């Protein structure tokens, strides 16, 4: 049983935890911070839909409850950090391209299968809508925050396909830069070049418009 209340951070990969872990633990030092690394994007998994996404996230929380022997009442909140992956752009901005994986640009997506990418975007878009309208998961306060087009784009200012190894190097460097300097990280993430202004709902309304889910934006500043 933990003395401190638990804040659970749901992130996509180990490099996300590496980049953000020390900053979050410093800023939320009065709570116990636990990272739940999905090893992929839960909003893109084949077995996930808008109908069962809340159950799937609750299953992630149940896993850490079991692992660390937490009770339901030990949890303060769940903070979920996701990539937008350009899912809100119009179908015309999805172009057939001779690529192995989907490639993101600030004005379009290149893909070998346009229809599959359109369907992926619709599915992920509906799941994100469900999550952003959800205030609690199994009684625990829940919020989902976005990085557009992805975490690397927001933190490192580059939109390209990074290898896992590159992600790890970049995230370690980033963590070193802000080690013990959470307030500097907050200043960075509040930069108007990145931070979408307005309330939580307004930031989501904004990212759903035009090509905003491809350009460099985040509402992670609202975490603080």
Name the pTM for this structure.
0.96
Asked whether residue 2 carries a pLDDT value surpassing 70, the answer given is no
> Who contacts 188 (Cβ-Cβ below 8 Å, separation ≥6)?
178, 194
Reported confidence tier of residue 194, pLDDT bands at 50, 70, 90: very high
Reported confidence tier of residue 3, pLDDT bands at 50, 70, 90: confident
Q: Is 139 left (phi over 0), alpha (psi -120 to 50) or beta?
A: left
Reported confidence tier of residue 114, pLDDT bands at 50, 70, 90: very high
To the nearest whole number, what is the mean pLDDT of the chain?
96
Higher pLDDT, 52 or 2: 52
Rounded to a whole number of angstroms, the CA Rg of the chain reads 17
Mean pLDDT, residues 134-152: 97
Helices (H), the chain: 14-27, 53-68, 114-132, 151-156, 164-178, 182-189, 200-207
């Amino acid at each position: 049983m933990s003395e401190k209340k638990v804040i659970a951070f749901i992130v996509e990969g180990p490099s996300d935890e590496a980049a953000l872990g020390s900053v979050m633990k410093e800023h939320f030092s009065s709570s116990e911070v636990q990272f739940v690394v999905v090893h992929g994007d839960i909003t893109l998994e084949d077995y996930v839909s808008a109908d069962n996404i809340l159950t799937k996230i609750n299953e992630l929380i149940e896993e850490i409850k079991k692992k660390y022997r937490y009770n339901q009442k030990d949890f303060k909140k769940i903070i979920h950090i996701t990539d937008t992956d350009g899912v809100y752009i119009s179908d015309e901005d999805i172009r057939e391209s001779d690529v192995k994986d989907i490639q993101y640009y600030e004005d379009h997506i290149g893909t070998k299968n346009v229809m599959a990418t359109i369907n992926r975007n619709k599915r992920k878009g509906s799941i994100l809508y469900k999550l952003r309208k959800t205030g609690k998961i199994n009684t625990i306060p829940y919020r989902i925050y976005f990085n557009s087009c992805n975490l690397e784009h927001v933190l490192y200012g580059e939109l390209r396909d990074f290898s896992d190894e590159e992600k790890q190097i970049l995230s370690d460097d980033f963590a070193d830069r802000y080690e013990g300097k959470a307030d500097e990280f907050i200043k960075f993430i509040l930069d108007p070049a990145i931070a979408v202004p307005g309330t939580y709902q307004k930031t989501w309304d904004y990212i759903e418009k035009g090509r905003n889910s491809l350009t460099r934006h985040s509402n992670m500043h609202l975490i603080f």
